[in-house]
Amino acid sequence: MKGRKVNGWAARDSSGILSPYSFHLRKTGPEDVVFKVLYCGVDHTDLHQIRNEIHSTTYPLVPGHEVVGKVIEVGRDVKKFGVGDRVGVGCMVGSCGECARCKTNREQYCPNMVFTYNDIYKDGSFTQGGFSSAMVVHQNYVVNIPEQLAPEQAAPLLCAGVTAYSPLKQFIGSKKGIKAGILGLGGVGHMGVLIAKAMGHHVTVISSSNKKREEALTDLGADCFLVSSDSAEMKKFANSLDYILDTVPANHQLQDYIPLLDVEGKIFVVGAVPEPLQFSASGLILGRTSISGSFIGSIEETQEILDFWVEKGLKTMVEVVKMDYVNKAFERMEKNDVRYRFVVDVAGSNLE
């Protein structure tokens, strides 16, 4: 059933160019929260999706999955949120609620998880994202934005932040000093540096060029900066890391990075590289290395990272833009020209 009419910006084809698009939200159900969108982060996954590089895209597609908004209506059974509350939504808006993964707070891995956009909701409607004037989301997939956090600061935590936090959380309480590697200093990578530093890790950024060296060491507080094409430096760092958070969105050779790991080191692949990644078996075997993937975080972890940000006094590095700049923002993101996350001021933009 059709609910309120909203205005968003949508991609119409694999050129990925966004333009104004109006559509209807679903009707507000008893457990739904309706909110006016204030800000929405721009993730590289949005770029992959509008270009139809991953998960077969259905057009028109309204992207955006780092969404902060203000509640304007709640269904009759909503207990957790009220009108006027500041709320957030990340990558998922549904899951079955009954499988072992859902019951153990790992609903992001539910086989019936529903993506915030480019997916079919339980009622058969097509999901659309946060580059839109309003959204309707089931209360179980909505988080509270702490009042100490500015909304544009909070937005990137809802995907990039929790994506870095979820795999790194396992090191909390570790007695040994952890040596971290953050591969790719973009939206997710800069969150990775801030989180790893706040957890007390010794952090090495591994970057494709020297361009971000100064700001990584000064603004983000990284301890070391390594350029991946500098083979002499790469050799010096051999066996030095306990883990690498791999955020690179394009094809790269994992075997170039495996030698950086100490024995039993771990690579967490979070970059959604469209092509298959390759590595040599012997490199893996000889270091007892593990390669694992990680997908965003649970709703519980999403709330945790928001609270962690407040507790540690961290500051997201964002460039706030209006919606009419979003195509340019994608272009600049592709050229690796963003420090470090674009956030669209949706409420302050003309969407029509």
Ligand X SMILES: NC(=O)c1ccc[n+]([C@@H]2O[C@H](COP(=O)([O-])OP(=O)(O)OC[C@H]3O[C@@H](n4cnc5c(N)ncnc54)[C@H](OP(=O)(O)O)[C@@H]3O)[C@@H](O)[C@H]2O)c1
Nearer to ligand X, 181 or 189 (CB): 189
Within 34-63, the residues that bind Zn ion by CB under 5 A are 43, 45
Residue 223 backbone phi and psi in degrees, to 5: -90, -35
CA Rg, the chain, in Å? 20
Residue 95 as a binder of Zn ion (CB under 5 A): the answer is yes
Report, in Å, the least distance between residue 207 CB and ligand X: 3
Given candidates 167, 184, 259, 265, which one binds ligand X under the rule CB under 6 A?
184
Q: Could you say whether residue 162 binds Zn ion (CB under 5 A)?
A: no
Nearer Cβ to Zn ion (234/272):
272
Question: Residue 250 touches which of ligand X, Zn ion, none (CB < 5 to 8 A by kind)?
Answer: ligand X
Please work out the total of residues on this chain that contact ligand X, with binding judged by CB under 6 A: 29
CB atoms within 10 A of CB 286: 12
- Max intra-chain CA distance, the chain: 63
208's contact among ligand X, Zn ion, none, with CB below 5 to 8 A by partner kind, is ligand X
- Can you tell me which of 59, 85, 99, 279 binds Zn ion, judged by CB under 5 A? 99
Of these, 18, 68, 102, 137, which contacts Zn ion (CB under 5 A)?
A: 102
Which residues are registered as beta bridge partners of 311?
none
Q: State the minimum distance, in angstroms, from the CB of residue 102 to ligand X.
A: 18
- Neighbouring C-beta atoms of residue 126, cutoff 10 Å: 15
Show the tokens assigned to 273: 């590289």
Residue 57, contacted partner among Zn ion, ligand X, none, CB below 5-8 A by kind:
none
What is the footprint of Zn ion within residues 253-292 (CB under 5 A)? none
Please report, as ranges, the residues that interact with Zn ion according to CB under 5 A: 43, 45, 95-96, 99, 102, 110, 159
Residues within the interface to ligand X (CB under 6 A): 43-45, 48, 159-160, 163, 184-189, 207-209, 212, 247-250, 270-272, 294-296, 333, 336
